[in-house]
Structure 1
Amino acid sequence: MRHMLTLAAALSALAASPAFAATGAFFSLHNTNFVVLLAFLLFIAVLVYFKIPTMVMGLLDKRAVGIQSDLDEARALREEAQTLLASYERKQREMQEQADRIVAQAKTEAQDAADKAKSDLEKSLARRMAAAEDQIASAEAAAVREVRDRAITVAVAAARDVIAKQMTKERSAQLIDESIADVGQKLH
């Protein structure tokens, strides 16, 4: 039933078309639809006679070839760009790795330099401490020598005073005689 209604609607739409609306015979020059059909067929014949479809197809083929070459060139450029991108990414990774190595080496060198400076500072402090200790020991020895020299000088002076007070002329002559005898024995 539905198919019948659809068929009836299609026939009524066809019957309402301008071709059926024209009055009289269809194959008459008074019928505008026939004249338009003839003009259209004549236009198509002229196009075919002057080989316009072939030219249009040739132009379309040229256009298709141009588009295909543009696509191929774009594909090649894309591949080249991807290759360049990969190359730059690889170079960037290499440069980053090199920068990381340089930073690590700089840190190591800085740590080594700090350790060496610390060691040098410790050695310098040890040398200065040793020099200070040597100076202290030298000053101590000089002070001891000076005290001893002073003590000797004081003792000699005191002994001289004591001997001078206890020495008499006779004792002095006796000591001189003993000394001469002693020197004589040592020389012979």
Structure 2
Amino acid sequence: MAFDNSFWALVGLVLFLALIAYLRAPAMMAKALDKRATQIRNELDEARELKEEAKQQLAEYQRRRREAEAEAQEILAIAQREADGIVTDARVKSEEYVARRTEVAEQKIKQAEIEAVSEVRARAVDIAIDAATRVMAERNVGADPRMTDQSIAEVRRRLN
């Protein structure tokens, strides 16, 4: 009986399969595959947990952003109200200042009018006294000069 190459190939295959069965290679492969599957499952679970944590952090950051925007809007509204109040106060103070300045100017004008009238009166009195002095001096040529001076002083006192 002559053994050809096919026979020897069959014998080699049988020995190889027997060796693999003896060394329990399928169990080792199954064990390695199970270990790899468990590792992949754990990694997937960890990835899901990380994804959930990332979603929670995103939601937290969005909530904080909304709160910060609301706070910024509130601060802006407060600042606007304060600015409006400052402008209103400034307008009121400006109007009061203008009113006071106008009143002071009017008082100065009235005072100037009073002084002008007083000055005109004083000047008129002086002119009247001078005229009266001349008239009395002309009419009382022979009279006592002290009496004339007393009369003029009396006129000055009464007119001023």
Same fold, judged at TM 0.5 (above): yes
> Considering only CA atoms, is the larger Rg found in Structure 1 or Structure 2?
1
Q: Residue type matched to 1:30 in 2?
A: D
The aligned residue for residue 115 of structure 1 is 88
Which of the residues 97, 106, 123 maps onto 2:79? 106
Deviation at 1:44, TM superposition (A): 2.1
Write the distance in 2 (CA, Å) between the matches of 1:90 and 1:96: 10
TM-score (norm 2): 0.82
2:136 matches 1:163: yes
Among candidates 82, 86, 89, match of residue 55 of structure 2: 82
In structure 1, the partner of 2:29 is 56
2:50 maps to amino acid: L
Quote the RMSD (CA, aligned, Å).
Answer: 2.4
CA distance in 1, matches of 2:107, 2:57: 72
Cα drift, residue 31 of structure 1: 6.7
Q: Could you give the per-residue CA deviations for residues 42-101 of structure 1, whole angstroms, max 9, x where no partner exists?
A: 322211110111111111111111111111111111111111111100000011111111
In structure 2, what is the equivalent of residue 131 of structure 1? 104
Greater relative CO, 1 or 2 (CA 8 Å, sep 6+): 2
Q: Return the TM-score normalized by structure 1.
A: 0.71
- Distance in 1 between residues matched to 2:84 and 2:18, nearest whole Å: 95
Corresponding position: 1:141 with 2:111? no
Aligned-partner Cα distance in 2 for 1:85–1:148: 92
1:88 alignment partner AA: Y
Q: Among the aligned pairs, what percent are the same residue?
A: 40
What CA distance in whole angstroms lies between the structure 1 residues aligned with 2:106 and 2:114? 12
Paired with 1:112 and 1:132, the residues of 2 have a C-alpha distance of: 30
Task: State the shift of 1:169 in Å.
Answer: 3.5
Distance in 2 (CA, whole Å) between partners of 1:45 and 1:85 is 58
Give CA deviations for 1:138-178 in whole Å, capped at 9, x if unaligned. Answer: 111111111111111111111111112112445x59x79xx
Letter in 1 for 2:62: E
Where in structure 2 are there 5+ consecutive unaligned residues?
152-160
1:67 to 40, 44, 63: 40
Deviations 1:90-136 (A, max 9, x none): 00001111111111111111111111111111111101100110111
Matched, 1:30 2:4: yes
